[in-house]
C-alpha cells in the first residue's frame, strides 16, 4: 500500500465561498450555528441515540428503512416506552419493504404502549407491483426538535456492532441546532403521507442555536423530484474541490455524469480516492462495483477495498473541510427512486474528524492495482458484463 498522507487543508474563507456557491445552486435547507459530532461506528451511534432518548422531554421522531426485532430493536422499544411514560410524544416511521421480515407484533407492541407507528408505502395491491420501487431509505432521529441524528445506520444488531457473526462498518452524526428542525420538517412530510395521525408540531422557540460553528445544508431526495438533488449536490461538491475528494460507499453504480465529474477532478490534479467493500451484503453489487475499477484506475482515481467486515458507510469529504453524510448510496436507486437525505457540513473541526476516520479506513483497506485487477478470470468479466444492463434497478 502506498503511503497515506492527508491532503493540505483549505483555508476557511475558501470553504465559506464554496458554501455560498452551493447555496445558490442547490435546492436545500441551510442553517448556521450548529454543533455537529461524528459518530464513528454503530456502537457509538446507538449509545449516543439511546442516551438522548432517555433525556427527551417533549418529542421523539424516528424514521428508519429497516427496523429489526432483535436485541437492538428491543432495547430501542424499551427506551421509547419509558419516554412515553414520562409524557413524551413518540412517532415511529418505518419502511414497509425494508422492514418486511419484522414481525407485525413488534410494532403492535409499540402501539399498545402509546408509541405512534406508521409503515411507509404498504402495498396497494389494486395497483399491481408499481408500489414496490418507492422506498423510504432515510435514517434519521429527532429529539425535542433540537437534537438530531442521521447517517447510514438502520435499527439492527449488525448496524449496532453487537452481532458477533456479522461485522458492519458504518457511521453517523449528531447535530444540535436549527438544522434539527429542518430534519423534523422532512420527517413530517413523510409522516403525513404514511399516517392519518397529525404529526407533532415544533416551534422555533424550541430550537436555539446549537452553540457550534458548523454551517449545515439538508438535501432531500425522492421520486417526486424531476431532477436528483442528491446527485447534484455530489456533483457540485466534486466540481468545487480544490485539493481532494474522498469517498466511502458500499454500493457504487453512479452513472455517466458522476463518473465524468470524478475524471474531470482527477485531470485537474485533485486527489480522488474511493473506498469500496471487499465484502458485500449484496453479491451482485460487489460484481457491479468491480466492473468500474479499470475505468476509475485509468482515469487517475485511487480505488481501495475495505477489508474485515461489510462496509455500509456513506460519506464524501471535500478538501478536508466539508463533508456529506447521509442515507444515499452512489447508485441510481438513491439518486432517483428512494426517499433519501444527506447532511452537508461545512466545518473545519468536523472535517478534521471525518478525515481522521477516513485515514483509519484507508489503513484497513487494500489498494487496487490495475495490472492485478486485469488478471481476474474470464468468468468474472463475463458476469460483470452481464449485470451492466441491471444497473438502473440495483
Q: How far apart are CA 327 and CA 223, in angstroms?
A: 15
Backbone angles phi, psi at 12, to 5 degrees: -60, -35
The residues assigned a catalytic role are: 137, 139, 144, 312, 314, 319
Instruction: Name the E strands within the chain.
Output: 29-39, 59-64, 89-95, 116-120, 135-136, 140-143, 147-151, 168-169, 172-176, 214-221, 244-248, 252-253, 271-277, 302-306, 310-311, 315-318, 322-326, 330-331, 338-346, 365-367
Which pairs with CB-CB distance under 8 Å and at least 24 residues apart come from 306-309? 306/169, 306/248, 306/275, 306/276, 306/277, 306/278, 306/361, 306/364, 306/365, 307/278, 307/364, 307/365, 307/366, 308/167, 308/364, 309/166, 309/167, 309/168, 309/169, 309/279
Distances (CA, A) of 71 to 48, 91, 168: 17, 20, 16
Please count the residues of the chain: 394
Amino acid at each position: 500500500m502506498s503511503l497515506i498522507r492527508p491532503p493540505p487543508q483549505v483555508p476557511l474563507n475558501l470553504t465559506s465561498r464554496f458554501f455560498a456557491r452551493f447555496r445558490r445552486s442547490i435546492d436545500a435547507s441551510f442553517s448556521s450555528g450548529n454543533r455537529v459530532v461524528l459518530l464513528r461506528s454503530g456502537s457509538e451511534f446507538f449509545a449516543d441515540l439511546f442516551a438522548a432518548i432517555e433525556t427527551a422531554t417533549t418529542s421523539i421522531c424516528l424514521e428508519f428503512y429497516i427496523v429489526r426485532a432483535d436485541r437492538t430493536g428491543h432495547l430501542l422499544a424499551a427506551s421509547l416506552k419509558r419516554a412515553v411514560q414520562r409524557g413524551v410524544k413518540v412517532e415511529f416511521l418505518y419502511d414497509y419493504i425494508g422492514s418486511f421480515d419484522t414481525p407485525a407484533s413488534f410494532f403492535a407492541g409499540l402501539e399498545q404502549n402509546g408509541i405512534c407507528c406508521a409503515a411507509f408505502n404498504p402495498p396497494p395491491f389494486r395497483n399491481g407491483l408499481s408500489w414496490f420501487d418507492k422506498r423510504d431509505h432515510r435514517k434519521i432521529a429527532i429529539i425535542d426538535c433540537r437534537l438530531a441524528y442521521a447517517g447510514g445506520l438502520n435499527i439492527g444488531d449488525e448496524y449496532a456492532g453487537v452481532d458477533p457473526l456479522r461485522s458492519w462498518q458504518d457511521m453517523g452524526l449528531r447535530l444540535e441546532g436549527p438544522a434539527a428542525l429542518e430534519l423534523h420538517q422532512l420527517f413530517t412530510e413523510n409522516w403525513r403521507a404514511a399516517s392519518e395521525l397529525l404529526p407533532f408540531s415544533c416551534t422555533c422557540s424550541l430550537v436555539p442555536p446549537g452553540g457550534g460553528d458548523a454551517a449545515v445544508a439538508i438535501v432531500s431526495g425522492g421520486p417526486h423530484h424531476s431532477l436528483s438533488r442528491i446527485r447534484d449536490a455530489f456533483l457540485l461538491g466534486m466540481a468545487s474541490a480544490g485539493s481532494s475528494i474522498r469517498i466511502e460507499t458500499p454500493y457504487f453504480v453512479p452513472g455517466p455524469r458522476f463518473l465524468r465529474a470524478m475524471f474531470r477532478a482527477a485531470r485537474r490534479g485533485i486527489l480522488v480516492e474511493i473506498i469500496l467493500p471487499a465484502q458485500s451484503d449484496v453479491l451482485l453489487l460487489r460484481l457491479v462495483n468491480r466492473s468500474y475499477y479499470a475505468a476509475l484506475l485509468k482515469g487517475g482515481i485511487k480505488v481501495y477495498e475495505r477489508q474485515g467486515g461489510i462496509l455500509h458507510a456513506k460519506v464524501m469529504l471535500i478538501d478536508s473541510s466539508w463533508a456529506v453524510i447521509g442515507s444515499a448510496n452512489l447508485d441510481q436507486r438513491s439518486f432517483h427512486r428512494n426517499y433519501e437525505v444527506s447532511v452537508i457540513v461545512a466545518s473545519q473541526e468536523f472535517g478534521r474528524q471525518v478525515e481522521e476516520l477516513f485515514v483509519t479506513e484507508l489503513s484497513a483497506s487494500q489498494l487496487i492495482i490495475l495490472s492485478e485487477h486485469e488478471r481476474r478470470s474470464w468468468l468474472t468479466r463475463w458476469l460483470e458484463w452481464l449485470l451492466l444492463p441491471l444497473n438502473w434497478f440495483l
